[in-house]
Structure 1
Amino acid sequence: MATTAPRPGGSARTPGDSGARDRTPAALAALVPRLREICGADGVLTDPSQRRVYESDGLTYHRSTPGVVVMPTTTDQVAAVIRLCAEHGVPYVPRGAGTGLSAGALPHAEGVLLVTSRMRRILEIDLDNECAVVEPGVANLDITRAAAPHGYYYAPDPSSQQVCSVGGNVAENSGGAHCLKYGFTVNHVRGLEIVTPAGEVVELGGKAPGAHGYDLIGAFVGSEGTLGVATRITVSLTRSPEKTVTLLSAFTSLDAGGQAVSAIIAAGVLPSAIEMMDALAIEAAERAVACDYPAGAAAVLVVELDGPAAEVDAQLERVTALCADAGSFETRAASGAEERALIWKGRKSAFAAVGRISPAYIVQDGVVPRTALGEVLGRIAALSAESGIRVANVFHAGDGNLHPLVLFDDTEPGAGERAEEVSGAILDLCIEHGGSITGEHGVGVDKACKMPRMYDGASLETFDLFRRAFDPAGIANPEKLLPTPRLCGERPGVRAGVHPLVESGEAEQF
Structure 2
Amino acid sequence: MSASLPIDPERQRLVNAALLAILPERCVLSAPEDTRPYECDGLAAYRQLPMLVTLPDTEAQVLAILNLCRELNVPIVPRGAGTGLSGGALPLANGVVISTARMNRIVRMEPLSRVAVVQPGVRNLAISDAAAQHGLYYAPDPSSQIACTIAGNVAENSGGVHCLKYGLTVHNVLRVRVATIDGDIIELGGESLDAPGLDLLAVFIGSEGMLGIVTEVTVKLVPKPEKARVIMASFDDIVTGGNAVARVIGAGIIPAGLEMMDRTSVRMVEPFVKAGYDTDAAAILLCEADGTALEVDEEIARMTEVLSNAGASAIAVSQSEAERLRFWSGRKNAFPAAGRISPDYYCMDGTIPRKRLAQVLTGIAKMEETYGLRCANVFHAGDGNLHPLILFDANKEGEFARAEAFGAAILALCVEVGGTITGEHGVGVEKIGSMCVQFSSAELSAFHAVKRAFDVHGLLNPDKAIPTLNRCAESGKMRVSAGLLRFAHLERF
Q: Does 1:18 align with 2:2?
A: no
- Are the structure 2 counterparts of residues 249 and 497 from structure 1 closer, same or farther at C-alpha, using a change threshold of 3 Å? closer
Shift of 1:497: 8.3
- Of 228, 253, 268, the match for 2:237: 253
Partner of 1:326: 310
Q: 2:88 touches 2:426 (CA, 8 Å); kept in 1?
A: yes
Shift of 1:25: 3.5
Partner of 2:444: 460
- Are the structure 2 counterparts of residues 187 and 138 from structure 1 closer, same or farther at C-alpha, using a change threshold of 3 Å? same
Number of aligned positions between the proteins: 485
Once the two structures are superposed, the pairs formed by residues 58-69 of structure 1 within 5 Å of their partners are 58-69=42-53
Shift of 1:422: 1.1
Aligned equivalents of 1:34, 1:199: Cα separation in 2: 17
- Of 187, 191, 196, the match for 2:171: 187
- Are the structure 2 counterparts of residues 33 and 261 from structure 1 closer, same or farther at C-alpha, using a change threshold of 3 Å? same
Aligned equivalents of 1:193, 1:413: Cα separation in 2: 46
More displaced 10-residue stretch of structure 1: 428-437 or 307-316: 307-316
Q: 1:197 touches 1:471 (CA, 8 Å); kept in 2?
A: yes
- Of 110, 113, 135, the match for 2:119: 135
Q: Secondary structure at the match of 2:407?
A: helix
Percent sequence identity over matched residues? 47
Shift of 1:450: 1.4
Aligned equivalents of 2:240, 2:450: Cα separation in 1: 45
Q: 2:189 touches 2:199 (CA, 8 Å); kept in 1?
A: no
Q: 2:243 touches 2:357 (CA, 8 Å); kept in 1?
A: no
Once the two structures are superposed, the pairs formed by residues 419-498 of structure 1 within 5 Å of their partners are 419-484=403-468, 489=474
Aligned equivalents of 2:490, 2:332: Cα separation in 1: 50
Aligned equivalents of 1:88, 1:497: Cα separation in 2: 34
- Of 398, 404, 409, the match for 2:382: 398
TM-score (norm 2): 0.94
Gaps of 5+ in 2: 479-484
Aligned equivalents of 1:79, 1:406: Cα separation in 2: 41
TM-score (norm 1): 0.91
Aligned equivalents of 1:358, 1:337: Cα separation in 2: 32
Aligned equivalents of 1:206, 1:432: Cα separation in 2: 38
Once the two structures are superposed, the pairs formed by residues 361-400 of structure 1 within 5 Å of their partners are 361-400=345-384
Q: Does 1:416 align with 2:400?
A: yes
Aligned equivalents of 1:358, 1:490: Cα separation in 2: 31
Deviations 1:173-210 (A, max 9, x none): 11111111111101111111100011211122222232
Shift of 1:424: 0.9
Q: 1:94 touches 1:115 (CA, 8 Å); kept in 2?
A: yes
Q: 1:287 touches 1:356 (CA, 8 Å); kept in 2?
A: no
Deviations 1:209-262 (A, max 9, x none): 321220111111000000000100001111112221112111211122122211
Q: 2:243 touches 2:355 (CA, 8 Å); kept in 1?
A: no
Shift of 1:486: 6.9
Q: Kindly provide the amino acid, as one letter, of the partner of residue 473 in structure 1.
A: H
Partner of 2:481: none
Once the two structures are superposed, the pairs formed by residues 252-331 of structure 1 within 5 Å of their partners are 252-331=236-315
- Of 203, 211, 215, the match for 2:199: 215
Aligned equivalents of 1:160, 1:82: Cα separation in 2: 29
Q: 1:483 touches 1:490 (CA, 8 Å); kept in 2?
A: no
Once the two structures are superposed, the pairs formed by residues 114-263 of structure 1 within 5 Å of their partners are 114-263=98-247
Q: 1:461 touches 1:494 (CA, 8 Å); kept in 2?
A: no
Aligned equivalents of 1:35, 1:208: Cα separation in 2: 38
Q: Kindly provide the amino acid, as one letter, of the partner of residue 19 in structure 1.
A: P
Once the two structures are superposed, the pairs formed by residues 62-141 of structure 1 within 5 Å of their partners are 62-141=46-125
Shift of 1:495: 12
- Are the structure 2 counterparts of residues 487 and 361 from structure 1 closer, same or farther at C-alpha, using a change threshold of 3 Å? farther
Q: 2:157 touches 2:170 (CA, 8 Å); kept in 1?
A: yes
Q: Kindly provide the amino acid, as one letter, of the partner of residue 264 in structure 1.
A: V
Shift of 1:56: 0.4
Shift of 1:359: 0.6
Shift of 1:402: 0.6
Aligned equivalents of 1:205, 1:400: Cα separation in 2: 28
Gaps of 5+ in 1: 1-6, 500-508
Q: 1:228 touches 1:476 (CA, 8 Å); kept in 2?
A: yes
Aligned equivalents of 1:486, 1:195: Cα separation in 2: 31
Shift of 1:42: 1.3
Deviations 1:133-178 (A, max 9, x none): 0011111011111111101110111111110100000001111111
Instruction: Give the root-mean-square deviation of aligned CA atoms.
Output: 2.0
Q: Kindly provide the amino acid, as one letter, of the partner of residue 447 in structure 2.
A: F
Once the two structures are superposed, the pairs formed by residues 30-49 of structure 1 within 5 Å of their partners are 30-49=14-33
Aligned equivalents of 1:25, 1:207: Cα separation in 2: 46
Q: Secondary structure at the match of 1:403?
A: strand
Q: Secondary structure at the match of 2:144?
A: coil
Aligned equivalents of 1:210, 1:280: Cα separation in 2: 45
More displaced 10-residue stretch of structure 1: 408-417 or 144-153: 408-417
Aligned equivalents of 2:246, 2:488: Cα separation in 1: 47
Aligned equivalents of 1:46, 1:336: Cα separation in 2: 51
Aligned equivalents of 2:489, 2:349: Cα separation in 1: 35
Deviations 1:60-108 (A, max 9, x none): 1111110000000110000100110001110010000000011001101
More displaced 10-residue stretch of structure 1: 332-341 or 107-116: 332-341
Aligned equivalents of 2:176, 2:284: Cα separation in 1: 39
Q: 1:56 touches 1:106 (CA, 8 Å); kept in 2?
A: yes
Shift of 1:307: 1.9
Aligned equivalents of 1:371, 1:204: Cα separation in 2: 35
Once the two structures are superposed, the pairs formed by residues 3-14 of structure 1 within 5 Å of their partners are 7=1, 12=2
- Are the structure 2 counterparts of residues 343 and 39 from structure 1 closer, same or farther at C-alpha, using a change threshold of 3 Å? farther
Q: 1:390 touches 1:406 (CA, 8 Å); kept in 2?
A: yes
Aligned equivalents of 1:290, 1:54: Cα separation in 2: 34
Q: Secondary structure at the match of 1:452?
A: helix
